[in-house]
Structure 1
Amino acid sequence: MNFIDKFFVPAAAIKEFRERVKINRNFIEKLPGFIEDAAYEYTDNDGNLIFITVAMWQSAEALNKAKEAVQAEYKKEGFDAPAMFKRLGITVDRGIYTRVHE
């Protein structure tokens, strides 16, 4: 089970975004059912960052529990991801993907 996020990050928001991504990736790698993750990025002609993360989970149940754990951690920290994204002009496209075997 792969949970994939694709972020568009305006140039002015890159530093703060990277700091948050590091916190999140360090947190999820300790959760039950986590297999591995990877990040990919490129910078467009205007200096904006396109950033993709792929997190692999053992099962849908593990992913759902991870989402709950992340939300609980955000609440504990007082962190509001949607507010941060809005303030910095970050957009995200996310979904659960399955690998195609042909």
Structure 2
Amino acid sequence: MSKASSIYRVDKFIVPAGARDEFLARILDTHQILRRQPGFVQDSVLEQTGGPGQYNIVTIAQWQSQAAIDAAKIVVQAEHAKNGFNPQQTMAQLGVQADIANYAVVSTA
């Protein structure tokens, strides 16, 4: 599979310092679920170490297709519901702001 055919889910977060540990724990738990899903390729969880950017936590997950992302989303939502975890509610309570989107590699040919 080529990088050009992959879909990248990029989630950028502004996380208050006091919410960092709890928020990262939730992200890492979710990524454990994602890594077991069909069509998952690889991921990274990044924390800002310098620079003027406002997003201090960024996650990137590479998927084989949009269909794989859609299927994984259903599994993650079911797992969160089973565990009584509501991501939107948690982010609101922690004061986390998010910018979430899917991306594709830009062809340079």
Say yes or no: TM over 0.5: yes
One-letter amino acid of the counterpart of residue 33, structure 1: G
SS at match of 1:7: strand
SS at match of 1:69: helix
SS at match of 1:83: helix
Aligned positions of 1:56-95 closer than 5 A: 56-95=62-101
Question: In the alignment, what sits opposite 2:10?
Answer: 4
- 1:39–1:51: 8 Å Cα contact kept in structure 2? yes
Q: 2:32 aligns with which of 26, 29, 32?
A: 26
- 1:33–1:57: 8 Å Cα contact kept in structure 2? yes
For structure 1, the 5+ residue unaligned runs are: none
When the two chains are superposed, the root-mean-square deviation of aligned CA atoms in Å is: 1.7
- 2:12–2:55: 8 Å Cα contact kept in structure 1? no
Question: In the alignment, what sits opposite 1:97?
Answer: 103
Give 4+ residue runs of structure 1 displaced > 6 Å after superposition.
Answer: none
For structure 2, the 5+ residue unaligned runs are: 1-6
Q: TM-score under structure 1 normalisation?
A: 0.91
Instruction: Measure the CA separation in 2 of the matches of 1:9 and 1:43.
Output: 13
Q: TM-score under structure 2 normalisation?
A: 0.85
One-letter amino acid of the counterpart of residue 53, structure 1: T
Q: Which has the higher strand share?
A: 1
- 1:38–1:53: 8 Å Cα contact kept in structure 2? yes
One-letter amino acid of the counterpart of residue 57, structure 1: W
